[in-house]
Amino acid sequence: MISSSSMSLFGLLCGLIVLLMLPFPSRASDPDPLQDVCIADLNATISINGFPCKPASKVTSDDFFTDFSKDPTTFDVFKRAVTFGDVFGFPAVNTQGVSLFRLDLDVGGINPPHTHPRGTEAGIVTRGTLLVGIVTTNNTFFSKVLTPGKVFLIPRALVHFQLNVGNEPATFIPIFNTQNPGVSDSIGTIFDATPPVPNEVLTKSFRVGDDVINAIRAARAQSS
């Protein structure tokens, strides 16, 4: 469970992000909203800048709230569990230029190297010990081990990861300046593409043999 002190820090972070964005709306990743409320109608066809709004007569108080208090009961192959607070998991963020998530990493778990093409990420650790790493476009690696209450920032579209380096589960809350930051798995993009990227491209790019590429493909197929 997220402690009250951690939630206070989380609230402070949210407030700081809002204060930073209000004077400079052009810095937000999404267009400015044209109405007070636009709860996403997830059953409608998505438009260019989000989902159509649910009819105002069908908006309820519950639409403005979500629950990040529950610990996960299952993890994926990376020992990772995600609670979604983007437009698909929390429709109230539709057109609001913000989204948030809860990520839990079991002992030894990792959120593998990836990018968010549409958003800057700011996060706060609420439990455990987390190694956060960032790689810039000039191949410089920045990293730090964080404990509860510590905050990190991932510039838009840079490769980054989070690794649980502690002896207990770790939890962190990332917040984005867009309702749908998107995610590009740096490894999956290459090895899981359909149709497959030719082995010749991968062997020449990584300077390894076909056996290595085939072993990676096989390992990923078994874990999917």
The one-character DSSP state at 61 is G
Q: Are strands 151-154 and 102-105 parallel, antiparallel or unpaired?
A: unpaired
Measured between alpha carbons, how far is residue 139 from residues 40, 135, 200 in Å? 39, 6, 24
Tokens representing 211 are 């056996």
Judge whether 160 is annotated as a binding position. Answer: yes
Query: Which of 187, 211, 216, 178 minimizes the C-alpha distance to 88?
Result: 178
Residue 6 and residue 148 in contact, taking contact as beta carbons nearer than 8 Å? yes
Residue 125 β-bridge partners: 172
Q: Are strands 170-176 and 159-164 parallel, antiparallel or unpaired?
A: unpaired
Judge whether 116 is annotated as a binding position. Answer: yes
Judge whether 164 is annotated as a binding position. Answer: no
Judge whether 111 is annotated as a binding position. Answer: yes
Annotated binding site for Mn(2+): 114, 116, 121, 160
Annotated binding site: 111, 114, 116, 121, 160
Annotated binding site for oxalate: 111, 116, 121
